[in-house]
Amino acid sequence: MANIKALVFDAYGTLYDVHSVVTLCDRLYPGRGTPLSQLWRAKQLEYTWLRSLMGRYEDFTAVTRAALEYSCRVLQLTLDSARTAQLMGAYDNLALYSDARDALAGLSGIKLAILSNGSPQMLGALVQNSGLERTFAAVISVDSVKVFKPDPRVYKLATDQLGVTAAEIGFVSSNYWDAAGAKSFGFRVFWINRSKAQPDALGAAPDAVLAKLTELGGHPLLS
């Protein structure tokens, strides 16, 4: 098999903790932060899949806002324009997972990139606010193909922009559906299974299952 020449990371849920919004959610809605964060994320993902299937693309900013509005209606939480702005702004300042910065720093000598459902504006703010703007050779958004993961057209963006073959890309995600989509496309896939979750039966198993991002450094597939 070809040597891995680039490592491509999912952003939301892999490098950045989407549930770091719980603190703000709890401040705005005391005692309701966790259910709001969980439903917001679940509906956000569901909307990306449904919009892809329907051919009715809207960017991740719009999808995230719609998922927030839905979640607040279901949980009977008042959502005014000020709260909307605060909660949407939290996505520009998501916390890095505790293992992310050290893991990225330990991967010198290999091209690093992000491939994400995020809109260019969201990703640009997120990477800059976390101080990683010099870390990645490319920050790639699905927006240019107007469809969300795990559509194969999304993964092709990485091969096109990085100038390498699918087999030369190591793809890193903690979302199993994303890992399976990347493997089905032909990437070498590292599934970050922090929660010891069971893999889904999708017929496309990752090449390696790691408990944390720092296990990437020195991994045999990268040698």
Q: What is the mean pLDDT of each run of 10 residues along the chain (223 residues)?
A: 90 98 98 98 98 98 98 98 98 97 93 98 97 96 98 98 97 98 98 96 96 95 87
59 given a catalytic annotation: no
What tokens were used for 186?
Answer: 């032909």
Map out the domains of the chain with their CATH numbers: 6-16+94-222 (3.40.50.1000), 18-90 (1.10.150.240)
Catalytic pick among 10, 17, 99, 151: 10
Report the C-alpha gap between 102 and 134 in whole angstroms: 15
- CA-CA distances (angstroms) from residue 102 to 89, 145, 214, 216? 26, 32, 7, 11
Q: What is the pLDDT of residue 181?
A: 98
Give this prediction's pTM.
0.96
Q: What is the pLDDT of residue 198?
A: 96
Q: What is the pLDDT of residue 223?
A: 79
The H-or-E segment that residue 192 falls in is: strand 188-192
Report the C-alpha gap between 84 and 147 in whole angstroms: 25
Beta strands in 78-187 (DSSP E): 95-96, 111-116, 138-141, 169-173
Q: What is the pLDDT of residue 108?
A: 83
**First-residue to last-residue Cα distance in the chain:** 12
